[in-house]
Amino acid sequence: MSMLSVRNVRASFGGFLALDDVSLELKKGELLGLIGTNGAGKSTLFSVITGYIPKRAGSVDFLGENIDGLSVHKRVQRGLARTFQVPREFSQLTVFDNMMTAVPNACGELLFSIFFQAREVRRQQAENADKVSELLAFLNLSRVADVPAGKLSGGQKKLLELGRLLMLEPHCILLDEPFAGVNPVLIQEISERIVALNSKGMTVLVIEHNLDELSRLTPRMYVMDRGRILAEGAPDDVLRREEVREAYMGGVI
Amino acid sequence: MDAISIINAAINGVVIGMLLALPALAITMVFGIARFPNAAAGDSMTLGAYCAVGAQIFISDSLAVGVILATLVTAIVSVFFYGWVFRPLALRSNISRLIASIGVAFVIRNTITFFTGQDQYNLNVPLVRAWNFNGIRILPTDMYIVMIAMVALAIMFYILHGTDLGRKMRAVADNTDLAASSGIHSRHVMLSLWTISGLFCGLGGVLLGIKAVVVPDLGFELLMPMFAAVILGGIGHPVGAVIGMLLFSIGQEIASLYVGPSYKIPMAFVILLVVLLVRPQGIFGRPMAAR
Amino acid sequence: MEAYFIAIAIAILIYLLLALGLSLHYGFAGLVNFGHVGFFAIGSYTSALLALNGVPIPLAMLAAVFLTAVSAYPMGIIALRLGSDYLAIVTLGFSETIRYMLQTEEWLTRGMHGLPGIPRMFDGMVPSDQIDFWILIALLAANAVALYLLLKVIKSPFGRVIEAIRDNEVAVRALGKDPARFKTRTLVLGAALAGLAGSFQAHYLTFLSPDQFVPLITFYIWIAIFIGGINRLSGIVIGTIILIGFLEGSRFVSDMVGGISEVQMASVRIWIIGMALILIVLYRPQGILTRENSRSKAL
């Protein structure tokens, strides 16, 4: 069944046509890759899908329903979550607090509950704290739980972003260049976590620059170039195609 | 209300709009280049008005002397505060400059009132009879005001479009890429900006003093209408500021036939809200979120 | 003598409620509110008008707090889609519009004539020479409750989201939370405190006029929170005390120093406030009573 259905999307960004008639299908439970040269429009596509940038034409359906009019946070509430190319951790909060902030619909976020339901708020906090500890262990971040997130390494920040995402218990996660700027050891860790999540049924769409890593990771991928989808299929197939090799001949992968 | 009253109100609106267009122009340029709404613009106007009054009392009855003295003083004061306050704050947030400009406004206003008290003053203007065309009244002094304002605006637009400096200023003011310009620009541009800002606020203040009673709150009361006009016209757009101010003043003068003179405050507030919610870039600005 | 100190203490405590509200807005949530005096005015006039029409004072005050909080709600919805400098201008316009309406809607507020004869708190309940003392006690209680509630809010998950919004608003959205909702609620809570301050003002002074609600008051409060360190609650208490001390003390100076009249002293006072704003922003934007490298994002 379809998780994400992007059809004929056109979008302008900074005055030029960033996405030109782009279509993409993400199936439930899939681990899908999206690769392309610099400026191909990958992040723009993410931003259109998640609602950060408006599109000029086309449609985006999530879990069979059109989400075109929805604001960013409403899309996330429906279960569509993303990470960012440059990590957006809450630098002044500890890793632990970063995770706790992600809890959806905590009753402690309601002023009424804070004033009149203190015990319930405390109980929920304890419950969430347990969940956070579990996830931090899964991500191998337990050691740095009390460190301000701004002090983490690039790779650790990416893991933290992933962790925050998982607190949301989303249906589908979009990872924007999870390996960029990360040292090889952590790339391995991140890769393993992604595979582990997917094997448990999480639907994942990954943008990457790093051709090698992505080919190893995703059984199917789309290739983008200058705002259009060039090709789609298994990594081996796709990378053998004429048009793809041409696009990459001068381009940076 | 009959047509004559409305036309007279509209004429009054044009006159006031033209003279307020000068400080409005200053506000929009500062907003566009130094990237903050200058809350001291109003009190710079007040300073100009009081200087003209002072010149009349102590130096000469001639308004020309008053204008020269007033604009000189306001230009110097403006550059002074740029050098001492706004330039060091160039790399900081817009809010820091805004708050500082509130402080500057208080300082200017209360320096004046320390010496003048809360009394009201008047500029001695030669009494002339209004021209009357079937009930439509036009005051010669108003004509002079409009002419002076137009000359000032013409000079300003020549600078903006016909000189290198002006082109640079326009380019910077028009640049909605906030990352690129945070108030750090060539010394030449900034000094010119603040000199012009001071000159125009001062001149606007004197012209206003010809029409209205000179009181300490003269300029501060007009801040909201001027901000509204500037945002209506599009921040950083000189033409927008002038047109915005004219539209606002004409609208306000006509409205005051029905609702009362100080209606300009809620009117400015409503226009502000509507523009920011519906079309934040104003009439002439390029589409950008008001965030 | 004692009566004088009680009066000063009352002034401090009313301003403290205002300062706590503004600190919530700016120090806590980073909202630049230049219209705080507008909420003060709504609280004052609402409580006064209700009491003048027979409503018992406690009920009138409750209604005033509620109405002030509600008035902040549309402000929030509208203004929070705007950036800081626009929010500042809009909030200033808001408080000036309120003041304009207080001046012109004479059928309701008696305009510039002012509203006299407002029922006094505790009138008839205690000997009249003890009323001020009991108002002081009531204000102490109100401030204690306010401080307690604020601390709870700051340390709660709500407080954490606000901190996160200041840190990285885009990321908060990416977590499925609407920053505007949190900012609006903060605005409402701070406004409620200002409304409470206003209702105390009404039933203490027993006379209100639009002149009491000029933008200058808003910036007095800004100075108080700047002195205190913007979001340090203990600092804000001290900041408010220093502010009132300055405002009161300056009255003595004009008496003692021969050549300056009362009116001129008023100018000097505001001149100093203006200078303080400039100097604080230039040299000490994180506030005066804070450690050098404070966590709060300085201006």
Does the residue B8 lie in any domain? no
Integer CA distances (angstroms), C113 to B260, C104, C109, C205, in order: 18, 11, 9, 15
Touching C: which chains, 3+ CB pairs < 8 A?
Answer: A, B
Q: Dihedral, CA atoms, B208, B211, B216, B219, nearest 10 degrees?
A: -30
What pLDDT was estimated at residue B180?
46
A160 has a pLDDT exceeding 80: yes
Most C CBs within 10 Å, among A53, A82, A84, A109, to test the C interface: A109
C257 at the B interface (CB within 8 A)?
Answer: no
C271 at the B interface (CB within 8 A)?
Answer: yes
B290 has a pLDDT exceeding 50: no
Does the residue C47 lie in any domain? yes
Closest Cα in chain C to A72: C173
Rounded CA gap, A210 and A198, in Å? 20
C297 has a pLDDT exceeding 60: no
What does the mean pLDDT of chain A come to? 88
Q: Of A109-113, C6-10, C253-257, which has the strongest mean pLDDT?
A: C6-10
Contact residues on chain C for A89, CB-CB shorter than 8 A: 168, 171
Segment C280-285 mean pLDDT: 90
Touching B: which chains, 3+ CB pairs < 8 A?
Answer: C
Closest Cα in chain C to B224: C93
Contact residues on chain C for B85, CB-CB shorter than 8 A: 278, 282
Helix-helix angle C36-52:C179-205, to 10 degrees: 50
Most B CBs within 10 Å, among C90, C165, C278, C297, to test the B interface: C278
What pLDDT was estimated at residue A39?
77
Contact residues on chain C for A70, CB-CB shorter than 8 A: none
Give residue-wise pLDDT tens across range A120-150: 888 999 999 999 999 999 888 999 999 999 9
CB contact under 8 A, C81 and B118: no
Does the residue C264 lie in any domain? no
Does the residue C271 lie in any domain? no
Rounded CA gap, A104 and A110, in Å? 12
CB contact under 8 A, A84 and C172: no
Closest Cα in chain C to B102: C274
Q: What percent of chain B has pLDDT over 90?
A: 54
CB contact under 8 A, B224 and C92: yes
Closest Cα in chain A, distance from residue C74 (Å): 18
Give residue-wise pLDDT tens across range B48-99: 999 999 998 888 888 888 999 999 999 999 999 999 999 999 888 888 999 9
- Nearest-by-Cβ selection for B273 from C32, C90, C268: C90
What pLDDT was estimated at residue C239?
93
| Long-range contact pairs involving A12-20 (C-beta distance under 8 Å, separation at least 24) | A12/A56, A13/A44, A13/A53, A17/A227, A18/A44, A18/A227, A19/A44, A19/A45, A19/A48, A19/A55, A19/A227, A20/A226, A20/A227, A20/A228
Contact residues on chain A for C152, CB-CB shorter than 8 A: 114-115, 118
A57 at the C interface (CB within 8 A)?
Answer: no
Closest Cα in chain C, distance from residue A178 (Å): 16
Does the residue C81 lie in any domain? yes
The CA-to-CA distance between both ends of chain A, in Å, stands at 32
CB contact under 8 A, C156 and A72: no
Contact residues on chain C for B260, CB-CB shorter than 8 A: 104
- Nearest-by-Cβ selection for A108 from C157, C172, C174: C157
Closest CA to B272 of B219, B232, B233, B234: B232
CB atoms within 10 A of CB B135: 11
Rounded CA gap, B22 and B24, in Å? 5
Contact residues on chain C for B88, CB-CB shorter than 8 A: 282
Does the residue B220 lie in any domain? yes
CB contact under 8 A, C163 and A91: no
Number of separate domains in chain C: 1
A126 at the C interface (CB within 8 A)?
Answer: no
A253 has a pLDDT exceeding 50: no
Most C CBs within 10 Å, among A70, A74, A77, A114, to test the C interface: A114
In which domain, by residue range, is B151 found? 18-226
Does the residue C290 lie in any domain? no
Closest Cα in chain B, distance from residue C168 (Å): 14
C156 at the A interface (CB within 8 A)?
Answer: yes
A196's tokens: 């582990």
C254 has a pLDDT exceeding 80: no
Does the residue B266 lie in any domain? no
What pLDDT was estimated at residue C65?
97
| Residue B289 pLDDT level (bands cut at 50, 70, 90) | very low
Give residue-wise pLDDT tens across range C142-151: 999 999 999 9
Does the residue B256 lie in any domain? no
A121 at the C interface (CB within 8 A)?
Answer: yes
- Nearest-by-Cβ selection for C282 from B89, B106, B276: B89
Rounded CA gap, B177 and B18, in Å? 31
CB atoms within 10 A of CB B137: 16
In which domain, by residue range, is C16 found? 2-213
C112 at the B interface (CB within 8 A)?
Answer: no
Most A CBs within 10 Å, among C156, C178, C184, C297, to test the A interface: C156
Are B233 and B28 spatial neighbours (Cβ–Cβ below 8 Å)? Answer: yes
Segment A20-37 mean pLDDT: 90
What pLDDT was estimated at residue C217?
96
CB contact under 8 A, C157 and A125: yes
What does the mean pLDDT of chain C come to? 90
Most C CBs within 10 Å, among B27, B89, B98, to test the C interface: B98
- Nearest-by-Cβ selection for C285 from B37, B96, B228: B96
Closest Cα in chain A, distance from residue C87 (Å): 22
Helix-helix angle C215-228:C2-22, to 10 degrees: 90
Closest Cα in chain B, distance from residue C219 (Å): 9
Does the residue B263 lie in any domain? no
Task: Give this prediction's pTM.
Answer: 0.89
Does the residue B123 lie in any domain? yes
CB contact under 8 A, C170 and A111: no
| Residue C291 pLDDT level (bands cut at 50, 70, 90) | low
Segment A85-101 mean pLDDT: 92
Does the residue B32 lie in any domain? yes
Residue B239 makes CB contacts below 8 A (sequence gap 6+) with: B233, B284
Does the residue C234 lie in any domain? no
Give residue-wise pLDDT tens across range C53-83: 999 999 999 999 999 999 998 888 877 777 7
Contact residues on chain B for C25, CB-CB shorter than 8 A: none
Number of separate domains in chain B: 1
What pLDDT was estimated at residue B178?
45
B246 has a pLDDT exceeding 80: yes
Amino acid at residue number A222: Y
Contact residues on chain A for C173, CB-CB shorter than 8 A: 72-73, 76
Note the ipTM here: 0.90
- Nearest-by-Cβ selection for A76 from C156, C168, C174: C174
- Nearest-by-Cβ selection for B102 from C103, C263, C277: C277
Does the residue C173 lie in any domain? yes
Please report the sign of the dihedral spanned by the C-alpha atoms of residue B66, residue B72, residue B75, residue B76.
negative
CB contact under 8 A, C149 and A115: yes
Does the residue C241 lie in any domain? no
